[in-house]
């Protein structure tokens, strides 16, 4: 592509106009001949950009803007010459704690439930599906070695991955070294804790030294990052054994990556949902003891729901993201995906806390209390969402309508189960603000995180080239004005303030996992969530319920979720083809 006599490159010219909302239109191409003559931005182009932004300037005002816009373009060009790795965060960072908000710093008492499994199951499949609480105990008391369990999971990963497509890279050599070390340590009486010797899988946006970190996307499939993510380091220190890097939808959207679509073990005709597609699928199929996923907007909640497992999305800033792919600096969160609530608590305990490397990661007291009396908690429920009338469009099939009816009935039944546990349910409502209109905060930050991918044209290598996929969204993000991004974050502050008022006197609240604006809202405000199965539809696929909590209220929501889980037992059901 040739530069014109003014040194303006045609691709850069097009990218520049994308910032005004004109990428993909005929206008940049039509104006190229004019730019070759004048070297500047035209008033006609500016008028087109105004329409996209909902503005209307006079012709005289446009004339005054032209010189400054040319200077801005020159600034953009200079900044684009500066290499920006995905690991470099903005100078500004999001804090979910508002000024004046009181966060308890009191020490907490840790209590873990007594293991129920005191002997190794005779059936290997039954062993593979045991929760972390039981696996860790069996290793500790010598009923099974870490090497034996690691070998079992590696064999299951190799056997079932051709059907599930949940593995990007097996870490067999590293795993066997870790397992051998775990066994040697136990032999001399050194026990690191409940995760000692337990195999796990990492969503492949976490860096692991010596192995590819592909982010699930073809442009990065050969990428190696020469460090271990903080979460990986902390699980190493806890004695856990990394057996695989698991799939994610490309660049953390959906369940389609460069190696296929990851499948739902309950119904392999379905994808496992995303973007923590591999962690959800592998955990549900008994291929790992637990997994680490990430969420920006539903990426733990959604695959946990589809695959019938339990996921914890911690409070924003509770877990360091150092060494993890950045998608949205103000919304990304890492958390465990497990077969039970207490597993999530134990894994979270091992990975949480600041590290001095992620500027948003902080230390707050956390201790898992399996004996917490949930009757002492004041629990809200989103009344208007639970009691809503289902609305369907002409495009909804009768099968879709029946599935929705079944799910709502199970959600309502979940409320009755909580009441039977002695939990007082208090009706609450979410703030009346345009939450869905704030979603472009994610698009803007993601567009910045992968700006080089868009401008280089390597986004054409991505598997999904459709309207609702990253390549198109990254391009659209170039049209978001900086002023609107900042205004959206100001509305976000109002949302945080209003949520604090809603939660006055409330410890936790219950919500349908995908009802209303709760999922996006809590990802914007940074509130934690536990998602877990609340039943099964007539077709045998699972549904879920979500327990949200106050900032840094993981202890309370985990205790409430565990009480519900123990009362229902839905987590004890596993997909038959993998048993």
Residue 22 neighbours by CB under 8 Å, 6+ apart? 28, 45, 48, 49, 52, 479
406: three-class secondary structure by DSSP:
helix
What end-to-end distance do the CA atoms of the chain give, in Å? Answer: 57
Residue 29 confidence class, pLDDT cut points 50, 70, 90: very low
pLDDT value at residue 55: 83
- The residue among 532, 573, 114, 110 whose CA lies nearest residue 341 is 532
Q: What is the pLDDT of residues 333-368, one digit of tens each?
A: 999 999 999 999 999 999 999 999 999 999 999 999
Is residue 464 predicted with pLDDT exceeding 60?
yes
Report the top-level CATH class of 129-433+491-578. alpha beta
* pLDDT attached to residue 3: 45
Coil, helix or strand at residue 427 = strand
> Where do the structural domains in the chain lie, given as residue ranges?
1-82, 129-433+491-578
pLDDT digits (tens, 9 = 90+) for 119-162: 999 999 999 999 999 999 999 999 999 999 999 999 999 999 99
pTM, full prediction? 0.91
Give the tens place of pLDDT for each residue, 385-417: 999 988 899 899 998 899 999 999 999 999 999
pLDDT score of 506 more than 50:
yes
Please give the pLDDT value at position 36: 46
**Per-residue confidence (pLDDT) for residue 39, from 0 to 100:** 58
Distance, CA of 575 to CA of 309 (rounded, Å): 11
pLDDT (mean) for 493-506: 96
Taking alpha carbons only, the member of 477, 490, 411, 393 closest to residue 442 is 477
User: Average model confidence (pLDDT) for the chain?
Assistant: 92
| Neighbouring residues of 434: CB distance < 8 A, sequence distance ≥ 6 | 491
Measured distance CA(417)–CA(397) in Å, rounded:
31
| pLDDT tens-digit map of 419-436 | 999 999 999 999 999 999
């Amino acid at each position: 592509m040739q530069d014109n006599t003014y040194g303006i490159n045609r691709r850069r010219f097009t990218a520049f106009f994308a910032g005004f909302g004109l990428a993909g239109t005929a206008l940049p191409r039509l104006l190229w001949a004019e730019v070759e003559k004048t070297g500047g931005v035209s008033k006609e182009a500016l008028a087109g950009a105004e329409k996209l932004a909902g503005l209307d300037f006079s012709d005289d005002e446009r004339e005054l803007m032209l010189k400054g816009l040319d200077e801005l373009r020159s600034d953009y060009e200079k900044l684009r010459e500066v290499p920006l790795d995905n690991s470099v965060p903005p100078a500004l960072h999001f804090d979910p704690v508002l000024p004046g908000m009181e966060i308890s710093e009191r020490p907490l008492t840790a209590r873990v439930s007594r293991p129920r499994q005191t002997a190794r199951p005779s059936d290997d499949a039954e062993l593979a599906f045991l929760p972390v609480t039981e696996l860790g105990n069996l290793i500790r008391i010598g009923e099974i070695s870490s090497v034996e369990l690691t070998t079992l999971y590696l064999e299951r990963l190799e056997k079932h991955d051709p059907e599930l497509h949940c593995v990007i890279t097996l870490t067999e050599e590293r795993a066997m070294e870790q397992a051998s070390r775990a066994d040697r340590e136990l032999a001399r009486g050194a026990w690191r804790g409940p995760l000692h010797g337990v195999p796990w899988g990492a969503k492949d946006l976490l860096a692991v030294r010596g192995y590819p970190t592909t982010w699930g996307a073809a442009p990065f499939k050969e990428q190696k990052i020469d460090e271990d993510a903080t979460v990986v380091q902390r699980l190493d220190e806890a004695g856990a054994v990394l057996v695989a890097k698991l799939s994610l939808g490309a660049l953390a959207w959906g369940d389609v990556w460069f190696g296929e679509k990851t499948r739902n073990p309950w119904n392999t005709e379905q994808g496992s949902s995303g973007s923590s597609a591999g962690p959800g699928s592998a955990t549900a199929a008994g291929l790992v003891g637990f997994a680490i996923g990430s969420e920006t907007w539903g990426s733990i909640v959604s695959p946990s729901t589809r695959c019938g497992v339990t996921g914890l999305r911690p409070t924003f800033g509770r877990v360091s993201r150092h060494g993890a792919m950045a998608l949205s600096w103000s919304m990304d969160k890492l958390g465990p995906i497990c077969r039970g609530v207490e597993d999530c608590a134990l894994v979270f305990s091992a990975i949480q806390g600041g590290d001095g490397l992620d500027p948003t990661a902080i230390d707050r007291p956390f201790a898992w209390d399996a004996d917490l009396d949930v009757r002492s908690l004041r629990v809200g429920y989103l009344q208007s969402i639970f009691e809503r009338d289902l609305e369907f469009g002409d495009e909804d099939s009768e099968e879709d309508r029946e599935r929705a009816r079944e799910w709502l009935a199970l959600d309502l039944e979940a409320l009755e189960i909580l009441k039977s546990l002695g939990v007082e349910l208090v009706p609450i409502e979410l703030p009346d603000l345009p939450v869905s209109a704030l979603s472009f905060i994610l698009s803007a930050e993601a567009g910045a995180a992968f700006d080089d991918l868009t401008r280089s044209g390597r986004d054409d290598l991505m598997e999904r080239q459709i309207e609702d996929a990253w390549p198109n969204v990254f391009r659209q993000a170039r049209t978001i004005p900086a002023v609107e991004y900042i205004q959206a974050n100001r509305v976000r502050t109002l949302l945080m303030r209003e949520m604090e008022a809603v939660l006055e006197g409330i410890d936790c609240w219950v919500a349908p996992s995908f009802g209303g604006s709760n999922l996006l809202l809590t990802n914007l405000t940074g509130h934690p969530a536990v998602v877990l199965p609340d039943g099964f539809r007539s077709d045998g696929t699972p549904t879920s319920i979500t327990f949200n909590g106050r900032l840094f209220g993981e202890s309370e929501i985990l205790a409430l979720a565990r009480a519900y889980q123990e009362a229902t037992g839905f987590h004890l059901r596993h997909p038959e083809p993998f048993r």
